[in-house]
Structure 1
Amino acid sequence: MTLPRPPLKVALAESVNTLPRGAGLAYEPKFDGHRMVIFHIGGEVLLQARSGRIVTAAFPDLAAAARELPGDTVLDGEVVVWRNGRTDFAAVQKRAAATPGRAPALARALPASYAAFDLLAEGGVDLRPLAYEKRRARLVAVAGPLGPPLQPVPMTRDRAEAEGWYESLPGIGVEGLVIKRLDQSYRGGARLWRKLRHTRTHDAAVVGFTGGAERPAALVVVLPDDDTPVVSGPLTPALRTQAAALLAGRAGGGSGTAVATGIGEVTYRAVEPGVTVEVELGTTRHAVTTVVRLRSPEELD
């Protein structure tokens, strides 16, 4: 069997409204960051975002840490940046958007951490067909001794302990729990895991807008776990005014394309990273990302 290589489809989770119960379940904290697959194959390190985009140059600190992994190892996990004792999604997005020339300075100012939650290959062996329980044991053996910035996420089989995490960890930026079956293989692209979030709203990083700069029609955002731009639903008049003030002077002069629900591909004007908004995700087949609230930008420089 061949080793997993980029572009690799990652396993996904389906949202649930209550904490699953029953035998044979594992619970992990759900960090508010960017999904990343780490490949250390053939002496080369590659870092892949969920979309399949290679982001190695943007994270030189994690690339250096990944070189300490045994050869022919592949990890799945989440990148986070810790600021003031909690995770900062705007800072993660700023790291992900860094040019190769600026990435080393940002790595020093905003060091990244990698929370590994799965081991897909080790020693040249594809582990995806194995049960999660076996992959988890090998993950701890491989990544556990390395220490920060690369370490396994906590895991428990105790539902009461998981409930305690769910109640206590939001204060440090943990947005909920991911639940996996111990006997489950790893299936890229399939929503076999389950995730329980504290709220239907999520922080998202603003990467652009549509319409005029004086009154943006919609915002283009990147959601946690992903790096694919998403066009929000139309902004309310009040949010248009706030968005114009918040984004003033942040337009980078570039542009991009993203898919807007019900419209198709649209062109947007790019902005500098560092602005975060609160969004609500629709649950219908043609889900709309609705901007609920604009947050003041963090001064990250």
Structure 2
Amino acid sequence: MQLPVMPPVAPMLAKSVGAIPEGRLSYEPKWDGFRSIIFRDGDDVEIGSRNEKPMTRYFPELVEALKANLPAKCVIDGEIVLVGSSGDRLDFDALQQRIHPAASRVKMLSEQTPAKFVAFDLLALGDEDFSGRPFAERRAALERAFAAASAPVHLTAATQDPELAGKWFHQFEGAGLDGIIAKPLDGPYQPDKRVMFKIKHERTADCVLAGYRVHKSGPDAIGSLLLGLYKPGGELASVGVVGAFPMKRRKELFEELQPLVTSFDEHPWAWAKQEEGARTPRNAEGSRWSAGKDLSFTPLRPERVLEVKYDHMEGERFRHTAQFVRWRPDRDPTSCNYEQLEEPVKFDLAEVLAT
């Protein structure tokens, strides 16, 4: 492989802002998948990742689609996404399952749950390095390069109209996207630099504290708090974790929570006893992404409620780690259920891809 920009390349990043900014900016939907830089030189294709390790072997169906749709020599930044079984929204949980060590399972999943690639930046085309050029030039060249592309390879929608970006922000969430990205039109491509802007949905929920994991620094500090919400039938479901605390507060929390420590026999997640030391209450979380990591937890009597901030849901769980807001001693834990969560307006993913 001989390209003007050679792998690995760390993707350009975005910093969070509270509202859609205005100025000389291009706005795009924020896709919820695996960030990936594609390197193609003829029949040689490498699918890079956020951590700069190749993911090529996990997406054989995309390798063929990229050969059929990309210019013969190019480097393109984008996102690998997967459409859920409903056909109208993204499914990140299903996408995670695509990362598997067994070649036979990789092949099976590539046929059962094929992925898509959505392009949004251009680093090289032919023998030309575009990374130092303004984004406006890179986007124009990307549009020309994708003029004849077809599914499962797509070009992301883009606009310079902040009002339209605001509509996308609210509409596209219903298709599983999680916000808007704003890119300076005059900016070059800067690997591993937070020079773009991301605007994500932010909501709050009152959750039941169901357990904790200890911090990697030692057994007397909290690493993360496990959150639960009650389903209509009364089952306490695991919905995610809160994990960002100063070290002093982690140790204080450890002392505060000791009176609530219980056994798995007395806990709503009693079945986890047989998996103690191996997994969390989330079935798929003993994962390939954290191989060798101890994901066991200490069960707590579900008597305390905390308010957390979250961006959006993926199935029954928070898509990303939630943020602690405050304790809610005024809330009855049994009142913490899914009904309090705001549901986005449903929006067909096909319309987003066609925009």
Query: Does TM, scored on the shorter chain, surpass 0.5?
Result: yes
Provide the residue aligned with 2:8 in structure 1: 7
2:168 is aligned, of 151, 165, 170, to: 165
Provide the residue aligned with 2:235 in structure 1: none
Provide the residue aligned with 1:123 in structure 2: 126
Q: 1:12 offset after TM fit, Å?
A: 0.2
Provide the residue aligned with 2:64 in structure 1: 64
Q: What is the aligned residue count?
A: 252
Kept in 2: contact 1:75–1:119 (CA 8 A): yes
Structure 1 pair 168–98 and aligned structure 2 pair: CA distance change class (3 A): farther
2:291 is aligned, of 256, 275, 299, to: 256
What letter corresponds to residue 143 of structure 1 in structure 2? F
Q: 1:253 offset after TM fit, Å?
A: 11
C-alpha distance after superposition, 1:220-261 (max 9, x if no partner): 9xxxxxxxxx9956998799854938446985899735xxxx
Structure 1 pair 250–269 and aligned structure 2 pair: CA distance change class (3 A): same
* Superposition pairs of residues 1-301 of structure 1, within 5 angstroms: 3-22=4-23, 24-41=24-41, 43-68=43-68, 69-83=70-84, 84=86, 85-97=88-100, 99-199=102-202, 232=243, 242=269, 244=272, 246-247=281-282, 256-257=291-292, 267-268=293-294, 277-278=317-318, 279-280=320-321
Q: What RMSD over aligned residues (CA atoms) do the two structures have, in Å?
A: 3.8
What letter corresponds to residue 35 of structure 1 in structure 2? R
SS state at 2:171 partner: helix
Quick one: distance in 2 between partners of 1:46 and 1:157?
31
Quick one: distance in 1 between partners of 2:288 and 2:94?
21
Gaps of 5+ in 1: 202-208, 212-216, 221-229, 258-266, 284-291, 295-301
Structure 1 pair 155–253 and aligned structure 2 pair: CA distance change class (3 A): closer
Structure holding more helix per residue: 2
Gaps of 5+ in 2: 205-211, 215-222, 227-240, 245-249, 273-279, 297-313, 325-335, 339-355
Kept in 1: contact 2:75–2:122 (CA 8 A): yes
Q: 1:153 offset after TM fit, Å?
A: 0.4
Q: TM-score under structure 1 normalisation?
A: 0.72
What letter corresponds to residue 71 of structure 1 in structure 2? A
Higher-Rg structure is 2
Q: 1:78 offset after TM fit, Å?
A: 0.8
What letter corresponds to residue 291 of structure 2 in structure 1? G
SS state at 2:148 partner: coil
Provide the residue aligned with 1:223 in structure 2: none
Kept in 1: contact 2:3–2:41 (CA 8 A): no
Q: TM-score under structure 2 normalisation?
A: 0.61
What letter corresponds to residue 117 of structure 2 in structure 1? Y
C-alpha distance after superposition, 1:94-125 (max 9, x if no partner): 11335322112111111111110001111021
Kept in 1: contact 2:243–2:321 (CA 8 A): no
Structure 1 pair 55–108 and aligned structure 2 pair: CA distance change class (3 A): same
Quick one: distance in 1 between partners of 2:134 and 2:284?
51
SS state at 1:82 partner: coil
